Structure 1
Amino acid sequence: MRCVISLSTIDDLAKALPDSGLITDPDVLAGLGHDEAEWAPVGAPLAALRARSADEVSRAVAACADLGVPVVPRGAGTGLSGGANAVDGCLVLDLSKLNAIVEIDPENMLAVVQPGVVNDDLKAAVAEHGLWYPPDPASAPWSTIGGNVATNAGGLCCLKYGVTRDYVLGMEVVVGGPGGEYGTRLRLGRRTTKGVAGYDLTGLFVGSEGTLGVVTEVTLRLRPARRDAPRTVVGSFSGLVEAGRAVALVTARGLVPAALELLDRTCLEAVEDWKHLGVDPSAEAMLLASVDSPGAAGDEEAEAVAAAFRDAGALWAERSSDPVEAEALFSARRLAYPALERLGPVLTEDVCVPRSAVPAMLGKVEEIGRRHGVGIATIAHAGDGNLHPLLITPPGDAAARAAAQAAFDDLIAAALALGGTVTGEHGIGLLKRAGMQQEMPVGVRAMQRAVKDALDPLGLFNPGKVIGADPAFTRP
């Protein structure tokens, strides 16, 4: 049941936030009230605010605490787990206008940015200083640093270079609880390369999906720009499991390409039908590897990856000598999700398994799809075991939707049985709460609830997400 929006509460919020331009138009709220997780529930927000400064965020949080209005932060809305979805009676706090690159420090190889900075825009800005920001989710042209921090986003290069958490040195947050009254601005972390002063509160906020406070500024570690153009190695396989065996062999031989991505035939066909990139969609599965070691070592590594593909049974495996072709292939990987969205509602998985278990998990994907009669397209950051099976259903088909949900649950169970986790980079949000309860023992979940209650005693920040209502214990 949806709550009835109180006009008096809206008036009180407007009085507490004069000149803030509260948004109450139902059509605008509908657009701001959800991310791209089509299957996640969405509540009815009270209002939205496009924050223009950290001070405005602070005042908004303080006012919401006084009025008992939940706060749901959002960035570009590219999330795939419902983490930015509105709850009934909330204020949607849109941070996309906080998009300034505050500082680039080439000498210390760091950048300070506001949360609304788009990932690719940051990459372009630091490249002018001979620097590189490696985390590169497929949504990098649109997703924001704040959202990347909220979900600890990874991307194509995370196999070799790590995920967002590996690059966050510090941040400014608006909090409540023991750090001060709601609306208090605090700085966490540091600007130094090393530091172990107290608990790692910065790391705690990375991946917290806006449930502990609102991030208003981030200090990021950078790397020197890569000197050589990456080499691309392509392998074609007769099936998903065969491609998975090649991934396992690459790992077993100690090879660490910058990226090792998988696309199945359904993904390739969807992208080619949409964008006409000239990619051959005839393979049942394709692996794309990017090798960026400098000089002759990179050439040798690229050949070693191709050899691993062949030894694992590839139909063919070659190093691409055409940079245009290589770019088209990786463009196909990045465009796979939006291409599949054109075919019907997509329920997106984000399981991660040990790399040695990739072949077994890919076999489970095929078996679960057949058993439930559900079409599953698979893309993956295969090199680190992070698989994204995409369950596609015809629009308006309730029976197909129920079958897809059952398959979704079985995929989670299969990943956990193989020693994996329910989410590698999309976050828990709303879609994975039941899976998180399966993955974590009761005691661990109780610790997580204790952290939430300590830092957000009013339950103000993004309520219901991540932890949700856990049947194993009752909140005091």
Structure 2
Amino acid sequence: MGRRVCRAVTYGATQCPGHPYGGAVATAFVKTLRDLLSDGAVIDDPPVVAEHAFDASRTTAPVAAVLVRPRSTREVSAVLRAANDAGVPVVPQGARSGLVGAAAAIDGAVLLDLGALDRIVRIDPVDRIAVVQPGVVVADLQRAAAAVGLFYPPDPASAEWASIGGTIATNAGGMRCVKYGVTRDAVRSLEAVLADGEIVRTRAETVKGVAGLDLTSLFVGSEGTLGVITEATLALRPAPGPSRGVSAIFRDAASAFAAANVIASGSRLPSTLEFLDEVALRGIRLVRPELGIPDSAQAWLLAVTDEVIGSAEDLDGFEAAFLAHGAQAATRADDPEQLDHLFAARRALSPALVAVRGGATHGDLAVPRSQLPVLADAVVELRLRLGVEISLAGHVGDGNLHPTVVFDPGDADETARAREAEHELLVLAQRLGGTVAGEHGIGSVKLHAVDGEVPPRIRELQRAVKSVFDPRGILNPGRKL
């Protein structure tokens, strides 16, 4: 008999106390994998397995049984077939850059590292598609597309190390979503391996195609709970024009939100529209003092255009919107070096927030843009009531901000208040018609919050879909659903 698959979930980790998988059973299963796979693909050395137990969330991870590095779709199929037969959980992993524990270890699981499947199979300039394996790094695909005059728009902050498979599994976003959409909008078709080892293709590579249900979109964002992606056909676009931008500082966040809303609702759509608040700017002054952010700045906006024709008119429109809403100063960047200087403040966000108090949560909420002022007012009330500092920086163009609670991790009381604020922010986003996860996913870290957003009947239907794809529940159990 196969072992029972653990579904007990605690905040930040999936645990399975006292389950029967271990010892002689684990040893026999590892031997089965070695017999199925090429030399060196199966690793059960405890220190090496432990190194792969975490993703970037650094959630407390139980001990996995084995790390497997398949080198082909056939080997992925063999691993899943064996795991399904034995009832052993499987955690698909890419670059492990995720922030919600979706790629962290599960007790006794196979860690399925897809990093060796890293080939760009082909780039087709006629059909404007790229066919890639899941281990390809996002930035490498962007550079390969650019070399033939094409463009892969998804651009998460982790693009230089995040894998294509991971960004598809989480439906990653980034700073260009305001114009180009999220990863889902670039995925044409997928090859995936189901829990029982069967290899499937979700649809044809054509632009149009409505035969059957849209299983491609179902796989995107599923966090490895429905199958393991082994190849992706991605839509490419013609290369954009050179990016140019304008940034501005404001005396208050309300003015910046108003300016951003005018731009995002206008006819000249920016490729990037980013916001930093007073807490973020204070941290940036600590880590990047050479950027010269003035002490009086309470908010900051950056709008970027990449239009081939009309980019100067775009910048004129962005700057006019900034000034009409009380910007203290506006700075234009017409070449890559100048634009890189403007982007430097936004890129410094993560270390800047940690610098404020020593610790920071991973915020990732999205609300309708019309609700951003309401969200900002509610955050002010939350700060005062709980005595914590909260930053609202993020992708203001599409309503996906990253409300981040900064705190002193050495102060137990302050840490507890920060965690309480973090939870209240999730509830607040849902109350405003938004979501607890705009682009980072659910994983295990946010699983407790899904009931407040997804109605019981819809969750029931989603779990029924999961059971069709994965009847024994071996694929990333305790995550997403």
Q: What TM-score do you get using the length of structure 2 for normalisation?
A: 0.90
Shift, 1:325, TM fit: 3.1
How many residue pairs get aligned? The number is 459
Deviation, 1:281, is 5.6
Provide the rounded CA distance (Å) in 1 between the counterparts of 2:215 and 2:274: 32
Rate the CA distance shift 1:454–1:281 in 2: closer, same or farther, 3 A. farther
Deviation at 1:394, TM superposition (A): 1.9
Residue from 40, 51, 55 that aligns with 1:31: 51
* Pair 1:272–1:62, CA change in 2 (3 A): farther
**Equivalent runs, 1:442-453 vs 2, <5 Å:** 442-453=456-467
8 Å contact kept, 2:115–2:134: yes
d(CA) in 1 for partners of 2:285, 2:144: 31
Per the TM alignment, residue 326 of structure 1 is displaced from its structure 2 partner at its CA by: 1.6
The 1-side partners of 2:258 and 2:103 are apart by: 36
CA distance in 1 between partners of 2:57 and 2:280 (Å): 19
Partner of residue 23, structure 2:
7
136-145 or 337-346, which deviates more: 337-346
Q: Distance in 1 between matches of 2:173 and 2:429?
A: 19
Cα distance change on mapping 1:190 and 1:334 into 2, 3 Å: farther
1:221-278 CA-to-partner distances (Å, cap 9, x unmatched) read 000111x312201110123333222222223444411110112344345456446663
1:196 to 204, 210, 229: 210
Kept in 1, the 8 Å contact 2:120–2:133? The answer is yes
The whole-number CA distance in structure 1 between the counterparts of 2:183 and 2:77 is: 25
Q: Answer whether contact 1:2 1:44 (CA < 8 A) is retained.
A: no
1:223 pairs with 233, 237, 259, which one? Answer: 237
Query: Cα gap change, 1:54/1:339 in structure 2, threshold over 3 Å: closer, same or farther?
Result: farther
| Partner secondary structure for residue 178 of structure 2 | helix
* Counterpart-to-counterpart distance in 1, 2:64 and 2:262: 50
Q: Distance in 2 between matches of 1:233 and 1:121?
A: 28
Match of 1:302 among 315, 328, 345: 315
Specify which of 395, 420, 426 is matched with residue 412 of structure 1.
426
Of the structure 1 ranges 82-91 and 213-222, higher mean CA displacement relative to structure 2 is found in: 82-91
Which residue identity lines up with residue 154 of structure 1 in the other structure? Answer: G
State which of 99, 102, 110 in structure 1 corresponds to 2:129. Answer: 110
> Hey, what does 2:5 align to over in structure 1?
none
**Does residue 76 of structure 2 align to residue 57 of structure 1?**
yes
| Structure 1 residue 96, shift from structure 2 partner | 1.5
Please list every run of at least 4 consecutive aligned residues from structure 1 whose deviation after the TM superposition is greater than 6 angstroms: none
What CA distance in whole angstroms lies between the structure 2 residues aligned with 1:286 and 1:457?
A: 50
Deviation by residue 1:274-313 (Cα, 9 ceiling, x = unmatched): 4666352642221111012223x22112111111122222
* TM superposition shift of 1:405: 1.7
Q: 2:191 aligns with which of 172, 189, 192?
A: 172
Give me the whole-angstrom Cα distance separating, in 1, the residues matched to 2:46 and 2:197.
27
| SS in structure 2 of the partner of residue 383 of structure 1 | coil
Name the SS for the 2:445 alignment partner.
coil
Q: Is the 8 A contact 1:95 1:115 kept in 2?
A: yes
Q: Which moved more, 1:157-166 or 1:415-424?
A: 415-424
Between 419-428 and 132-141, the greater mean CA deviation after superposition:
419-428
Answer whether contact 2:268 2:314 (CA < 8 A) is retained: yes
In structure 2, what is the Cα distance between the partners aligned to 1:112 and 1:416? 37
In the alignment, the residues of structure 1 paired with residue 74 and residue 179 of structure 2 have an alpha-carbon distance, to the nearest angstrom, of 38
Q: Aligned with 2:42: secondary structure?
A: coil
Kindly provide the amino acid, as one letter, of the partner of residue 333 in structure 1.
R
Aligned partner of 1:107: which letter? V
Q: Which moved more, 1:212-221 or 1:306-315?
A: 306-315
| Partner deviation per Cα, 1:400-446 (whole Å, 9 max, x = no partner) | 22211211121112212221111111111112222221011111111
Contact 1:111 1:220 in 2 (8 A): yes
Let me know the Cα RMSD of the aligned residues: 2.0
Q: Is residue 343 of structure 2 the alignment partner of residue 330 of structure 1?
A: yes
- Mapped partners of 2:472, 2:180: distance in 1: 38
Q: 1:3 to 1:88 in 2, by over 3 A?
A: farther
8 Å CA contact 1:378, 1:390 repeated in 2: yes
Residue 242 of structure 1 aligns to a residue whose secondary structure is helix
Please, which moves more after superposition, 264-273 or 127-136? 264-273
SS at match of 1:317: strand
Classify the secondary structure of the residue corresponding to 2:188: strand
Once the two structures are TM-superposed, the CA of residue 25 in structure 1 deviates from its matched residue by 3.0
Structure 1 unpaired stretches of 5+ = 177-181, 468-476
* Partners of 1:248 and 1:358 within 8 A in 2: no
Question: How do 1:371-450 residues align onto structure 2 when only pairs under 5 Å count?
Answer: 371-450=385-464
Letter in structure 2 aligned against 1:9: V
CA distance in 2, matches of 1:142, 1:285: 30
In the aligned structure 2, how far is the partner of 1:82 from the partner of 1:345?
A: 18
Equivalent residue letter for 2:71: R
CA distance in 1, matches of 2:139, 2:364: 22
Instruction: Tell me if structure 2 keeps the 8 A contact 1:24–1:46.
Output: yes
Take 1:382 and 1:83, find their aligned partners in 2: how far apart are those partners?
Answer: 26
Decide whether aligned partners of structure 1 residues 281 and 77 sit closer, same or farther in structure 2, where only a CA change above 3 A counts. Answer: farther
Indicate conservation of the 8 Å contact 2:391/2:403, yes or no. yes
User: For structure 1, which segment, 278-287 or 427-436, has the greater mean C-alpha deviation from structure 2 after superposition?
Assistant: 278-287
1:231-242 matches, within 5 Å, as 231-242=244-255
Q: Deviations for 1:202-236, whole angstroms, at most 9, x for unmatched residues?
A: 1100000001011111110000111x312201110
Structure 2: where are the runs of 5+ without partners? 1-15
Determine which of 87, 102, 114 is the counterpart of 1:95.
114
CA distance in 1, matches of 2:27, 2:477: 23
Q: Between 205-214 and 4-13, report the one with greater CA deviation.
A: 4-13
CA distance in 2, matches of 1:71, 1:281: 50
Report the 3-state secondary structure (helix = DSSP H, G, I; strand = E; otherwise coil) of the residue aligned with 1:89. coil
Amino acid at match of 2:105: A
